[in-house]
Amino acid sequence: MIKKELVRQSNFHLLFFQWWDQQVDFYTAFLHHLAQLVPEIYFAEMDPDLEKQEESVQMSIFTPLEWYLFGEDPDICLEKLKHCGAFQLCGKVFKSGETTYSCRDCAIDPTCVLCMDCFQNSVHKNHRYKMHTSTGGGFCDCGDIEAWKTGPFCVNHEPGRAGTIKENSRCPLNEEVIAQARKIFPSVIKYIVEMTIWEEEKELPPELQIRKKNERYFCVLFNDEHHSYDHVIYSLQRALDCELAEAQLHTTAIDREGRRAVKAGGYAACQEAKEDIKSHSENVSQHPLHVEVLHSEIMAHQKFALRLGSWMNKIMSYSSDFRQIFCQACLREEAGSQNPCLISRLMLWDAKLYKGARKILHELIFSSFFMEMEYKKLFAMEFVKYYKQLQKEYISDDHDRSISITALSVQMFTVPTLARHLIEEQNVISVITETLLEVLPEYLDRNNKFNFQGYSQDKLGRVYAVICDLKYILISKPTMWTERLRMQFLEGFRSFLKILTCMQGMEEIRRQVGQHIEVDPDWEAAIAIQMQLKNILLMFQEWCACDEELLLVAYKECHKAVMRCSTSFMSSSKTVVQLCGHSLETKSYKVSEDLVSIHLPLSRTLAGLHVRLSRLGAVSRLHEFVSFEDFQVEVLLEYPLRCLVLVAQVVAEMWRRNGLSLISQVFYYQDVKCREEMYDKDIIMLQIGASLMDPNKFLLLVLQRYELTEAFNKTIATKDQDLIKQYNTLIEEMLQVLIYIMGERYVPGVGNVTKEEVTMREIIHLLCIEPMPHSAIAKNLPENENNETGLENVINKVATFKKPGVSGHGVYELKDESLKDFNMYFYHYSKTQHSKAEHMQKKRRKQENKDEALPPPPLPEFCPAFSKVINLLNCDIMMYILRTVFERAIDTDSNLWTEGMLQMAFHILALGLLEEKQQLQKAPEEEVTFDFYHKASSLGSSAMNIQILLEKLKGIPQLEGQKDMITWLLQMFDTVKRLREKSCLIVATASGLESIKNDEITHDKEKAERKRKAEAARLHRQKIMAQMSALQKNFIETHKLMYDNASEMPGKEDSIMEEESTPAVSDYSRIALGPKRGPSVTEKEVLTCILCQEEQEVKIENNAMVLSACVQKSTALTQHRGKPIELSGETLDPLFMDPDLAYGTYTGSCGHVMHAVCWQKYFEAVQLSSQQRIHVDLFDLESGEYLCPLCKSLCNTVIPIIPLQPQKLNSENADVLAQLLTLAQWIQTVLARISGYNIRHAKGENPIPVFFTQGMGDSGFDFHSILNFGVQSLIKYSNSIKDMVILFATTIYRIGLKVPPDETDPRVPMLTWSTCAFTTQAIGKAPKKTGLDISKTYWEMKENLYSEHFKIGRYVYSNKHNGLKALMQFAVAQRITCPQVLIQKHLVRLLSGRVFSELLLCIILCICLLYYISGSVFH
């Protein structure tokens, strides 16, 4: 039976074979065959039987096609091809989420990856490797010899292995099969392309219209990345009136495949469904879903076209000949047609295709073009030809890059030979850079500079893909240069300079004076692009450095570009700066007044090229390309110098009104992610200026730009402490930059060092802060284009690994021999790191009984091009600066100096002495022209030289911490003096040794003296501690009873020292409540607004200051989790709390202070900004939500800061009242007062005070006066404070009851008391039992705050404390928001009924607290 079936099928296929063979035009016959079968097979689109469909398509189409291709049983032929062996290239296409491996030792670049099978069977599993999760779309590089330095093959794909095909061998296809493939493949490919890009919704191509047309249509919904999963489900339910399960099924299929038919029927019905879906999915911020109505036969043919593509993938996997025939057919252009080739048509249509179609077509490209190097090159050329259009369509598209045709660029641009070919033949660098300029025109301002204010994050994220392509094409440097490659690269470099020109000076800012900036400008986009370009800038510089001629021409082009961007500066007016007999004519400019930008990629690129010229020794040829007259070094260093001055002024808090955006930019400017191409290059550009300019003129320019000329010309007579602090900070920052210019030589090309030495120095200075784990060190090192830091190559030379202990992770500790390289003023240290490193090194030296001097380490020599930088050290103005700093430190009346400034001056002095010492030790005295010693020893215009000044500084008690450094400097002066007095190198060396011995003797004497002093100090401390211990014991014996009581209270130990240090006061001052309450002391409270940075004292007559806060419903204290809460805000009475504590209104604050006016302006600006943005905000502005300007916490209101008012009591009246009014009498009086109030309320009368004297005799104290004793009169707050109190109370009411705001509602005061109580309980973790133990709650709250203080830090504790304090003061002040009679009514309701009888004592305590907080009960 089976045999007969096989014979029947063979005969059936043979008939097809013969029929197709008889046709003159195979394409027409093939389409005729498909037109008959495909609509029938794929008829059931809504609920298909997939197994039946697959069986039918195999039987009716694929098997006959395979018979026609092979001329015999295809199973037999395919089995033969399968056993021919494996191919050299793996070519496995990765699915999303699949694990990939990259060898850090052998990969040419990080994009070279292996699949799991190839990795496990390769040599790389024993190397350093990284694991990644694929996003889909890439493929395994096993077998690609250009992707690996060593080990390109795994065991399965190694050439020469049994069962492996050699590179040039082919599977044994006979000529007949090849001829058939040449006939079939073009028709198959053409059908796939035509149906994939078919646009008509109702009609098929004429060749497929052989059947009678039916009237069956589908409403087809397409996937996008804008609408959420739930939104699509909702839209489908509303539009189709379907169940949730059906809508979810549709949505899942759409997300997976990219499209799905959601309704079948006539055209009108499908069109109606289409409009319904679009209307339900559209809103203000989103476009409607993409829906089309397609004829059922069009759907069938498009679905089969993708299935045919999968079949082609299978066939091509068996033979290289098949792949080549397929590629040839795809690249062939139709004669007489204007259309591009088939593969280009597919690429150009990619952005319009849905997800499923894209995946199939990309797999076709992977399995064909990318498996054949020759055709990969041809495909890459087609790709570059349409690159601009493809990238523009991708940027306009909403699908992920992983399913875009543009993602294939990495597969082509990272192949070294292919990248060279594309540069030479198609100028791909220019194509990419021009594309960048064409996709960003909307961000160019009138000056043709980028300005990314109001940018689209999604669009810029897609633009980064174009920048990545530039990185891919440059990732492998050429080893040999052809003339054409050099010419095309230079063309691309000039094009790239156009982008840098648009970035040079972009987003300029001006210092804000007077008022704080209202809204921080967008800064993230510019910094993000700078990060993206960092490695690209380095790669361009390295490419240029591969060829000397190329480097010089590139330098010339970059210099021209910088000069073109500096025309406005060169045309500005000039000013003359004079100091110390030297003068400089320079352009008038002040960073503190004029526009300045932190973005200077052109200047920094020029600095990088200059360093590489120095490294090649080609600076001497620079005049051949750029004349000295055109060079204008002062113009070149102007903008980097401005940038460094800006940083200094930000540190001096001169720009604090410009907000956080500038602080963030300065942070990234110096951060490891950006500094290599920002901060470091600015220092290098200043070193270039110092090497080419007269040193005195250079320092005059620096002083002028730092706006310190006046500060050094004359003594500034001012008592403004802020101005003095500002000047001192600027001087410190300037001296620090000068140290960097003269001392930072660890850049290849600036100093004679290697990259390994640079990395070692970075590691040394990181480990001088503290021992660090591997990850922390790597995080603080810059990465190159291959994401490598070079850490592993050098770490063991400078550090030893300490195995994990209790901490759970191992750390590296610095070797002792590396400590000599520590430089206290290492230019990559932050302020915190500098302080910590200095402290650690001084502590270490102290433990070793060494002096605490931290002089600079021996430095490498400058390269010849930078050798003149050292002349800064011994020029006149430098000596004047040092002398001025020292003289001011000696002058007791001067305040224009700091110890930090003095330290830097000592460091500069040490640099000069070490430089001269090194030169004298290497050469005879007569050959050494560097005369720092003589300049420092001369008197100059002062009566004292620097040595004398050092001697005087040594005797100042306030500078005890600098004594060791001063001693070291004086000894170094003697050493250099002795070296100067010798006439030859040998004698100089011997003298140096003798001086070292003398130094050691001196050190030994000082060491013994320090040891003696340390021992004396230790004995003194012991004596003091013994006296303190005796006093403590005596105190305990004297106050034994009080001590025992105190020791029983946990957590009070910390208060002992506070009590001991408090001045003795009367006992009454310690009583908080009652007739003998002590006087309350109010402290002056001065707060700083985070928006305008202005300080203001909190007073009742001043404008309000507020804390940003968030009011929200909370179930933090509920006793029954999960219990449903049914509330109606319109009818709820919040006076009585649910015994389950089911919910409450919690008020939290981040503790950041603002002026009420500043906050209102900020909130209005946020509203205006939100209206102008396209994307949806993360907070609800309509509900009053906003982000705190400082910490970005979510807020929805503000808490007014109410000043604490002193409470005054008449002690004599209090004593009388205490004698006459017992607790029982007080309770009786209160009950009678409530009863009287209720009677009058029942009669409809207004309650009035009633005198009640029962049990009081003739005391004269009436009911009114008893209850009103001690109550303060209403405080008159400013209108601003009143407005803020009402605003906060209304917000609590609105959120607490979920009703519209109504400040006249009588429930407003109840809600404010409720949130005060609930917030206190929530912070204090209230006891679980029902009832309100006020004293316990307060102490638990306080203990809780203190425990959080120790766990989280002072900052959190302080903010919670400030928020709670403001909330309590608000509870006092909020009585101004409602009539007094309303408060009286609430209190009477609270005290009446069974509540009073059941919880008498507890309620009495509540009354006391409420009485105290509210400050008023009855009048």
Q: What is the pLDDT of residue 990?
A: 46
pLDDT digits (tens, 9 = 90+) for 996-1013: 455 555 556 666 666 666
From the list 391, 665, 519, 334, the residue with the least C-alpha distance to 1161 is 519
C-alpha 680/C-alpha 815 separation (Å) is: 27
CA 841 to chain centre: 32
Alpha-carbon distance of 1243 to 1239, in angstroms, equals 6
- d(Cα 281, Cα 263) in Å, to the nearest integer? 17
Using CA atoms, how far apart are residues 618 and 749, in angstroms rounded to an integer?
11
CA atoms of 4 and 771, how far apart (whole Å): 81
How far apart (Å, rounded) are the C-alpha atoms in residues 525 and 463? 11
Burial 302-321 (b: 16+ CB within 10 A, else e): bbbbbbbbebbbebbbbbbb
Q: What are phi and psi of 1325, to 5 degrees?
A: 55, 75
DSSP-derived secondary structure letter, 586: E
Exposure string for 1137-1161, b = 16+ CB within 10 A, e = fewer: beeebbbbbbbbbbbbbbbbbbbbb
Segment 80-125, tens digit of pLDDT: 887 765 567 888 888 888 899 999 889 988 889 999 999 999 999 9
pTM of the predicted model as reported, rounded to 2 decimal places: 0.71
Least confident of 333-337, 427-431, 806-810, 967-971: 806-810
Taking 60 as the threshold, does the pLDDT of residue 383 lie above it? Answer: yes
- pLDDT at position 1336 is 37
Structure tokens at 1298: 């979920």
Q: How confident is the model at residue 1391 (pLDDT cuts 50, 70, 90)?
A: low
Which string of DSSP letters, residue by residue, matches 685-746?
Answer: HHHHHHHHS-HHHHHHHHHHHTT-HHHHHS------HHHHHHHHHHHHHHHHHHHHHHH---
Residue with tokens 């498909």: 34
Per-residue pLDDT at 1263: 39
Mean pLDDT of the region 1116-1133: 62
Other CB atoms within 10 Å distance of the CB of residue 486: 17
Q: Are 817 and 782 in contact (CB under 8 A)?
A: no
CA distance 780 to 777: 5
- Say which DSSP state 1052 is in: -
Cα separation, 195 vs 61, in Å, equals 17
- Integer Cα distance of 92 and 108 in angstroms: 19
Q: Looking at 173-177, 484-488, 1393-1397, which range is the least confident one?
A: 1393-1397
Query: pLDDT confidence of 570, banded at 50, 70, 90?
Result: confident
For residue 1064, what pLDDT is reported?
Answer: 40
Tens-place pLDDT, residues 647-685? 999 999 999 999 989 999 999 999 999 999 999 999 999
- The Cα angle at residue 837 between residues 832 and 843, in degrees rounded to 5: 130
Q: Would you list the DSSP string of 263-295?
A: EEE-HHHHHHHHHHHHHHH-BTTBPPP-EEEEE
And the tokens for 762?
Answer: 């970075």
SS3 784: coil
3-state secondary structure of 760: helix
Closest C-alpha among 416, 342, 349, 351 to residue 379 = 342
State what percent of residues in the chain have pLDDT above 90.
Answer: 46
Contact 166, 159 (CB under 8 A): yes
The mean per-residue pLDDT over the stretch 446-458 comes to 89
DSSP state of 1078: P
Q: Using pLDDT thresholds of 50, 70 and 90, give the confidence band for residue 896.
A: confident
List, in sequence order, every residue forming a beta bridge with 38; answer none if it has no partner.
none
Question: Helices 342-349 & 320-331, crossing angle to 10 degrees?
Answer: 80
Q: Which helix (H) or strand (E) holds 1153?
A: strand 1144-1155
